[in-house]
Structure 1
Amino acid sequence: MNILQPSNVLLQVKTENKTDAIRRVGQALVDNGYVEAPYIEGMLKREESMTTYIGNQVAIPHSMPEYVQHILHSGIVVAQYPDGVDFGNGNIAKLVIGIAGRGEEHMEVLSQIATVCMEEENVEKLVKAQSAQEVIDVIGETL
């Protein structure tokens, strides 16, 4: 199963609060067969314990360690929010990237996504992407 496929890309999502945004990417991970539903609870608990906003208009919600047994396959979901999602303290995410990584893949996937999103040029391309393929072309180069 591919970590990133077209059904994992959500474009032009209307602004919502961070809890709903995390639920949205978590549910997409469930719907696409990457995780079981309890994983979403772990994503919300992670956000309560520390923000998953990494800067540069990007948040990368993922779960607490005690929920990893609910990961079926490694995968990511990219939700594009043109008007942003407020992650608190003035941090607005235009990209909310839900991730689930099995075993050692978790840190590898997280690291690769963070590396892509450190480059403002890449974030700009992702925020302006008009198709799932454009998103895959930017992120997929590293996965």
Structure 2
Amino acid sequence: MELLTEDMIELNQHFATKDEAIRFCGEKLVAAGCVERDYIDAMLAREELLSVYMGNFIAIPHGTDEAKHLVKKSGICVVQVPDGVNFGTAEEEKIATVLFGIAGVGDDHLQLIQQIALYCSDVENVVYLADAQTKSDIIARLASV
């Protein structure tokens, strides 16, 4: 995953709500110059349309198709949430411990989602990312993705 750099990784984060977690990922993408600020609203709208929770304790916050014009360059952030954040409801929890915030120019976002989903289909990979102690550990682990 050549787009991933240490400044786009955050370890040991805590969020009370999924909206807070999605906003955090969006802010990382804004700060990196990947997206315009309005993309964050599109990320929240995307979650309302269809959950960005992918199973196996991961979520992939990203914007709606209508927000593609707000993407300046493709980018990805990885946010570790050891205590997890609920992307479901109180009745049906969907706990994510690793968040992949993404923005893709053109169809890049589809490729990123596919790569992440394939890698994270093995829950052992997710456990490794959730337990990683350093940003370089995460980059090394995702380098082959």
TM-score under structure 2 normalisation? Answer: 0.94
Q: Secondary structure at the match of 2:16?
A: coil
Question: 1:121 aligns to what?
Answer: 124
For residues 55-90 of structure 1, what are the alpha-carbon distances to aligned partners after superposition, in whole Å with 9 as ceiling and x for unaligned? 000000111011011111111111100000011121
Cα separation, 2, equivalents of 1:117 and 1:134: 16
Matches within 5 A, 1:1-143: 3-88=3-88, 89-142=92-145
Q: Secondary structure at the match of 1:99?
A: strand
For residues 72-124 of structure 1, what are the alpha-carbon distances to aligned partners after superposition, in whole Å with 9 as ceiling and x for unaligned? 11111111000000111211000111110111212111110111111111101
For residues 21-59 of structure 1, what are the alpha-carbon distances to aligned partners after superposition, in whole Å with 9 as ceiling and x for unaligned? 000000000001111101111000000111000000000
Q: Secondary structure at the match of 1:13?
A: coil
4+ runs of 1 displaced by more than 2 Å? none
* RMSD (CA atoms): 1.0
Unaligned residue ranges in structure 1 (runs of 5+):
none
Cα separation, 1, equivalents of 2:139 and 2:64: 26
Alpha-carbon deviation of 1:16? 2.2
Alpha-carbon deviation of 1:135? 1.0
TM-score under structure 1 normalisation? Answer: 0.95
Count how many residue pairs are aligned between Structure 1 and Structure 2: 141
Unaligned residue ranges in structure 2 (runs of 5+):
none
